[in-house]
Chains A and B, each alone.
Chain A
Amino acid sequence: MNTPIAIEIVMLLAGLLFVLGIVGVIIRKNIIFMLLSVEIMLNAAGLAFIAAGSRWAQPDGQVMFIFILAMAAAEVSVGLALILRIYHQHRSLDIDKLKEMKG
């Protein structure tokens, strides 16, 4: 317990999670999965903040994490609501079929 985990490793984990998230957003077709991936990315960022906070013994990291948490909650609720509306309108959650904003 006492042995502190090296910050590099935590950062690596955060980075890994972030990349996973990005890959998820990019390759998934379903909007819900994309939303999940976004959550993963947010959590990755949160993890990085906490690690950094504990490394430099600053409270800001945890403050930021609370913010991210609140924002993620809000985002999920709005996002899910939007997804519901989209599903009602288009009967599909396939992002490729929902391309309407073409230049």
Chain B
Amino acid sequence: MMDHLLWLIPAFPLVGFILLALWGKHLSRFWTAIIGAGSVSLSAILTLFIGLNFLSSTPADGHYSQTLWTWFEVATFIPKITLYLDALSLVFVFVITFIGALIHIYSVAFMAADKDYARFFACMNLFVVSMLLLVLADNLLLLYLGWEGVGLCSYLLIGFWYENPSNGYAARKAFIITRIGDTAMAIGLFVLFYQFGTLSIPDILALTPTTWHEGATITTVTALLLLAGGVGKSAQLPLQTWLPDAMAGPSPVSALIHAATMVTAGVYLVARMHVIFQLSPIAQMVVAGIGAATLLIAGFSALTQYDIKRVLAYSTISQIGYMFLALGLGAWTAAIFHFMIHAFFKALLFLAAGAVIEALNHEHNMFRMGGLKSKLPVIFWTFLVGSASLAALPIISAGFYSKDQILWYAWASEHGNTTLWLIALFGAFLTAVYTTRMLLLTFWGDAKTAVSHYPSKLMTIPLAILAFFSLFAGFIELPHNFGHLTLFSDLLHQVLPETILKAGIHGELLFQLLAMLVTFGGIYMAYILWYRKPQLTEKLKQSAPLIHLYRFWFSGWGFDQVYQVLLVKPVVFIASINKNDVIDKFYQGIAILMVRLNRALSFTQSGSLRWYIIGLVVGAILILSIQVIL
């Protein structure tokens, strides 16, 4: 029965999109909001309904699926428009629709003054549709449809305020950089098709273990190609540079991109195709390595930003890095758990940051905020909860439970090692530092900008709901030495394998205590540097090497500059010198040659009869004499 309802989940927002796109101009704001937010909310309710059904009576084969129609049929390639819902996609669908709905509701108030109200909701709805198709797709081609659709929507929404060319630049950057990854992924699809003769995900996953053996080149190549796609969408090294610039869009868009959609697509893809990655230790290592490197690099960058949204952007890159690290470690459920918790608190943080920015009349600079604790209490408390979860404040925050799992597996899983663990631990420290810094600069201290707007109920209620989940969602999965609750991982183990631990590993408690210590250490350090003794920061800023380091981190480790020099400039240069097409010069050359020849020959056409006759005579004599001689 549930099978037949699946299509409605993406259909609601799709209808919303179509209505708004076609008649948005003629609809009143009220109806626009009803359609825009209502459609996603309906999806969310339906998802809850289907999800509860799924949980209460899990189907025998572990999934619901519904085929809508055969997309096309060429030779043996027959992709179908089939929706497929199992435990993994259920988690994603839940996060997408539920958080998506909250963000939509928030946007109703947040965007109220914008002139392109309908366009905003149309794009947001399409975003949700694409992401839903991505996670519900039964075959990789349909997944690719959602995948690219997400890219399109990010383009439309990042460049939402199109009058400003720099927004357009950011939008294009996001689209093109993610497309680089997508292209690699497309090649991966080709390989998969010729290996398995199908792009159906369940078929491929079923065939992989029998067709490929562990460590084969083809396995690694395929896994890496798919990973490249994931790296692009999830803003991991080396394709992470688009995400900080993507802050050009309205805050709800950032929330949607960072929490519910888009950047988690890579995590989903790797988790979905985990069988392939399991067969390739090298690919696994690369995934973990990318995750570790990214979380560190982004953590340092987050430390130096002054734009509140850019701090959050780098923190997203860093947290997704944790998810990739977990995926690489084979801690599949831990990655998905962190994804879910992260979705809650990151949506919360972005929405709250958006409220702050709006309250301060579009002030993004944290150094010009401050003292908002008492002026915007609801925002403050929810933001505090979100930050606690981001910084993984022990015991009470959900983020602690999800991140702690990853830290533990970095040490204990069979792929784990000391380096990865140390990086993850240090990343946790950095997270605590930059989170606290952001919190202190924004809400404590003296007020530097006057509050001009106060958030409405429509904005605060979603924040409160998200805050609730950011605190308590962690309790569905507790460490085994502390409650040992495994609701979440049990659900996911229907799809994802268990994490294999090294033999004879003990002392989980010790690692947990260490993690707590590190978190508190980070918070304390930030407290000292940016609240207690700000003069210390000033002093640190005097030293030359630190300034250089600061600038380096601030610019995102110079990736943008390197790409600019290595890729963008050469292409633009070639394009600009070849604007008039070198090859055309060749044909023009022929034309010019003809004209020259014509001039040379037309010189003999003097119009003087005398010359013609002389020519005749000379010619006759020549011919005669040749004849005589021969």
Q: Do A and B bind each other?
A: yes
A binding-site residues for B, Cβ under 8 Å: 22, 25-27, 34, 95-96, 99-103
Establish whether residues A99 and B606, one from each chain, have CB atoms under 8 Å apart when the complex forms.
yes
With a cutoff of 8 Å between Cβ atoms, the chain B residues found around residue A101 in the complex are 605, 607
Establish whether residues A99 and B614, one from each chain, have CB atoms under 8 Å apart when the complex forms.
no
With a cutoff of 8 Å between Cβ atoms, the chain A residues found around residue B583 in the complex are none
Q: Which residue of B lies closest to A28 (CB)?
A: B610
Which of B591-609 touch A at CB < 8 Å?
Answer: 601-609
With a cutoff of 8 Å between Cβ atoms, the chain B residues found around residue A102 in the complex are 602, 605-607
B binding-site residues for A, Cβ under 8 Å: 601-610, 613-614, 617
With a cutoff of 8 Å between Cβ atoms, the chain A residues found around residue B607 in the complex are 99-103
Bound CA–CA A102/B601 (angstroms): 11
Bound CA–CA A2/B607 (angstroms): 51
Establish whether residues A26 and B602, one from each chain, have CB atoms under 8 Å apart when the complex forms.
no
Establish whether residues A26 and B601, one from each chain, have CB atoms under 8 Å apart when the complex forms.
no
With a cutoff of 8 Å between Cβ atoms, the chain B residues found around residue A34 in the complex are 609
Bound CA–CA A102/B607 (angstroms): 5
A–B Cβ pairs within 8 angstroms, 12 of them: A25-B609, A26-B617, A34-B609, A95-B609, A95-B610, A96-B608, A96-B610, A99-B607, A102-B602, A102-B606, A103-B603, A103-B604
Bound CA–CA A90/B614 (angstroms): 25
Bound CA–CA A34/B609 (angstroms): 10
With a cutoff of 8 Å between Cβ atoms, the chain B residues found around residue A99 in the complex are 606-608
Residue with the highest number of chain B CB atoms closer than 10 Å, among A25, A34, A102, A103: A103
Bound CA–CA A27/B606 (angstroms): 16
Bound CA–CA A102/B608 (angstroms): 8
Contact of A22 among B606, B608, B613 (CB under 8 A): B613
Given contacts A26-B617, A101-B607, 17 further A-B contacts (CB under 8 A): A22-B613, A25-B613, A26-B610, A26-B613, A95-B609, A95-B610, A96-B608, A99-B606, A99-B608, A100-B607, A102-B602, A102-B605, A103-B601, A103-B602, A103-B604, A103-B605, A103-B606
CB distance from A103 to the nearest CB of B (A): 3
Q: Which 7 A-B pairs have the closest CB atoms?
A: A103-B605, A103-B602, A99-B607, A102-B607, A101-B607, A26-B610, A25-B613
Bound CA–CA A79/B613 (angstroms): 17
Bound CA–CA A101/B604 (angstroms): 11
Bound CA–CA A53/B35 (angstroms): 112
With a cutoff of 8 Å between Cβ atoms, the chain B residues found around residue A95 in the complex are 608-610
With a cutoff of 8 Å between Cβ atoms, the chain A residues found around residue B613 in the complex are 22, 25-26
CB distance from B316 to the nearest CB of A (A): 75
Establish whether residues A26 and B604, one from each chain, have CB atoms under 8 Å apart when the complex forms.
no
Q: Which residue of A lies closest to B611 (CB)?
A: A26
Q: Which residue of B lies closest to A95 (CB)?
A: B609
With a cutoff of 8 Å between Cβ atoms, the chain A residues found around residue B610 in the complex are 25-27, 95-96
Q: Which residue of B lies closest to A37 (CB)?
A: B613
CB distance from B9 to the nearest CB of A (A): 79
Q: Which residue of A lies closest to B598 (CB)?
A: A103
Q: Which residue of A lies closest to B617 (CB)?
A: A22
With a cutoff of 8 Å between Cβ atoms, the chain A residues found around residue B609 in the complex are 25, 34, 95
With a cutoff of 8 Å between Cβ atoms, the chain A residues found around residue B617 in the complex are 22, 26
Bound CA–CA A26/B604 (angstroms): 17
